[in-house]
Structure 1
């Protein structure tokens, strides 16, 4: 079957009424079971592709990770490779020898992508290889698609279907190896990291002024306190305030990991990498996340949380972004269908009628919106 017949194009007319119906159905157990079934199906398909019966005959897609930017940017490049390999029914072979974050290889932190196939005889591409290709909407449009057979089920179950879809691949990619898993368990044990912990991620340093504006800690803590107050209202008892803070700015919290991450010359050290990955995994296991989704780290944590937290299908409102909504960087966001008429109140606003399809003009709109300032006031900046 041709590739274009295997997918459900998610060009983004999001049916809000469908989401309302899914949330109001009252079938919590059904929703949990459906979420587990979908998780199992996708994991089984990925594992089958990555562990073919005959490795010598299975087609492969070689992903040469040469991304010179941040950790999350590199991992999202690998995500793109993985999605493309899945769509083309190929086994993903990941080459990280040229990646400044982990020249020792992906397995420095994570489990091998295949348990049955060895990649020793596969020739690594040249360092100047441009694969995984240009980072723009034209090259990476497949990231806006869902499997045709599973698409309707995913749409019915998840408020942010693409975040869940990305999360399935990231969950497989970022399975901790034995050493990382032990380190993660030690951190969780030392911090008594259990239910009731909220996570915040404050990204500054090289991000501010280039892709987003600076947000002060008080902006994050406002939402943290509101969440705790809401929890107390529901439980009718006081709740201990426990917050996990991940940041690259020592002004936010004086910790060694923040000090290392704040300096570009030490950010790419092994200790910084381990601290960063532990932060991402810890944030994904928090009950609630406050961050800026202009940051790739925040998006990684959110995508992993959507894919791994079984409570997400019951309560999807477990994240607050101080700036822009979830997206894949440099890929055109989904369109929106107007539910009401709107008459512009100033030259800066756009008038539209109920039923109109609102389309972002280009893939740079998300960065431009984050640089324009706060978008937590109900407005969307195109």
Structure 2
């Protein structure tokens, strides 16, 4: 046939197009990673030190783990009250997925239900998720298809579930979800609040950490992998965790920060652990393979560790299984560090912070975010409690504060560096006020599934 004589030419064109597109992608990524204008950021921006009494928090934490485990493992699954969480978000990354499951677990604990997961997303499957993480339940892990089809959607109002009389309810979780009960991030079980009173600076963040820590309990095989990786890397504490997220993140969601921006904070944190002339440990997780080489060249006195294969798979094979395990490994090792530097615009950055609050056995933990304050999408309103009286100065945009006032931070001004912007619940006045005169407020809510039994 005539077309056969054109086959060599067609083959050459195909090869040229394929490799040409790959080369263009490399050039594009290089441009994004290294030619993006670097902006100067305040070097003390968004570093927060969280303090705790480890003797108390570790003891209470073990009890919390038992409570969640007991609720998630009913003796008779068929007769148990259940919440089927339907995960829908197709573009949801790893950190996003864990936070979405956390939303459902908050609701399940608050309404005294066992949580079951149903994956309806092209990004992740249940088998893939459980290849790295333990099932949420050992006794009630498989969703009944009939219950999935016939159960009503969960509904609520404040601290009341309006579908309470249904034994099984379901809930679709996607980006547009808005909390309809107070069983959500930034609240804390009433039963837990007094136990942590004075023992932790951020008890509601600590509670979030324990909910997400239950979701991210790793399989025994992953524990073996982590042990081998730590031996290969020479991973040891004290160490600072460093997460640098770029690639698609700086295209649509976040700004570019240079390695120097991150390392300024790393250097300060390493000073907390400096002993003699020993090299300081930094564990680096990134989706930009060039960052590790740059760090070795510019900071030769630091012991910078990274799993190089993970940055490559995160860049080129994000949808593959090896990338999935790569982020699992990075996430676990970052959370085992003593301090953390990253960005809270990233779900992974916020997740690392949450898990560190659970794993830390030290009296203080410092985290530095180069962009946002800590947040949890699908949260309730963020509140602060006034510690010191404030009278407005000459600034006409400030409001008066009295000790004990509760202030709601305006979502449009969520960053709270030197000054915050919110509404005083006492007099309904809205304006700015000094950040140093308030502290984060943990709103207590009665979680019905949180049985604070003395025998646990």
Q: TM-score with structure 2 length normalisation?
A: 0.66
Segment drifting more, 267-276 vs 48-57: 48-57
Correspondence for 2:96 = 73
1:117-158 deviations in whole A, cap 9, x for unaligned?
A: 3516445858xx971366455436422321111112224222
CA distance in 1, matches of 2:216, 2:180: 24
CA distance in 2, matches of 1:280, 1:164: 17
Pick from 245, 262, 270 the counterpart of residue 315 of structure 2: 262
Q: CA deviation at 1:302?
A: 0.9
RMSD: 2.9
Correspondence for 1:165 = 207
Correspondence for 2:322 = 271
1:176-219 deviations in whole A, cap 9, x for unaligned?
A: 11221221111111112121221101112222254332221111
Radius of gyration: which is bigger?
Answer: 2
Cα contact 2:410–2:421 (8 A) shared by 1: no
- Paired residue secondary structure (2:198): helix
Give the 3 Å change call, closer, same or farther, for CA 186–91 of structure 1 in structure 2: same
Does 1:341 pair with 2:386?
no
Cα contact 1:223–1:290 (8 A) shared by 2: yes
Q: CA deviation at 1:320?
A: 1.3
Cα contact 2:116–2:140 (8 A) shared by 1: no
Correspondence for 2:67 = 45
Give the 3 Å change call, closer, same or farther, for CA 136–92 of structure 1 in structure 2: closer
Pick from 289, 300, 304 the counterpart of residue 355 of structure 2: 304
Q: CA deviation at 1:50?
A: 1.2
Correspondence for 1:100 = 123
Give the 3 Å change call, closer, same or farther, for CA 165–320 of structure 1 in structure 2: same
Cα contact 1:97–1:105 (8 A) shared by 2: no
Cα contact 2:95–2:347 (8 A) shared by 1: yes
Q: Number of aligned pairs? A: 335
Q: CA deviation at 1:229?
A: 2.2
Does 1:250 pair with 2:298?
no
Q: CA deviation at 1:58?
A: 0.8
CA distance in 2, matches of 1:115, 1:246: 32
> How do 1:75-94 residues align onto structure 2 when only pairs under 5 Å count?
75-94=98-117
Does 1:185 pair with 2:227?
yes
1:27-67 deviations in whole A, cap 9, x for unaligned?
A: x9xx3332122112211111111111222211111111222
Pick from 332, 335, 338 the counterpart of residue 287 of structure 1: 338
1:280-312 deviations in whole A, cap 9, x for unaligned?
A: 11110011110111211011111111012222x
Pick from 63, 70, 76 the counterpart of residue 54 of structure 1: 76
Cα contact 1:72–1:296 (8 A) shared by 2: yes
Q: TM-score with structure 1 length normalisation?
A: 0.78
CA distance in 2, matches of 1:36, 1:230: 23
- Paired residue secondary structure (1:300): helix
CA distance in 2, matches of 1:203, 1:342: 41
Cα contact 1:203–1:295 (8 A) shared by 2: yes
Give the 3 Å change call, closer, same or farther, for CA 118–279 of structure 1 in structure 2: closer
CA distance in 1, matches of 2:54, 2:242: 26
* 4+ aligned runs moved over 4 Å, structure 1: 122-126, 133-138, 342-347, 379-382
Give the 3 Å change call, closer, same or farther, for CA 225–124 of structure 1 in structure 2: farther
Cα contact 1:290–1:320 (8 A) shared by 2: yes
1:72-127 deviations in whole A, cap 9, x for unaligned?
A: 1111010000110011111111123535134534211111212223516445858x
Pick from 93, 99, 111 the counterpart of residue 134 of structure 2: 111
Give the 3 Å change call, closer, same or farther, for CA 299–123 of structure 1 in structure 2: farther
Correspondence for 1:217 = 259
Pick from 384, 401, 417 the counterpart of residue 354 of structure 1: 401
Could you say which structure has the higher strand fraction? Answer: 2
CA distance in 2, matches of 1:221, 1:320: 11
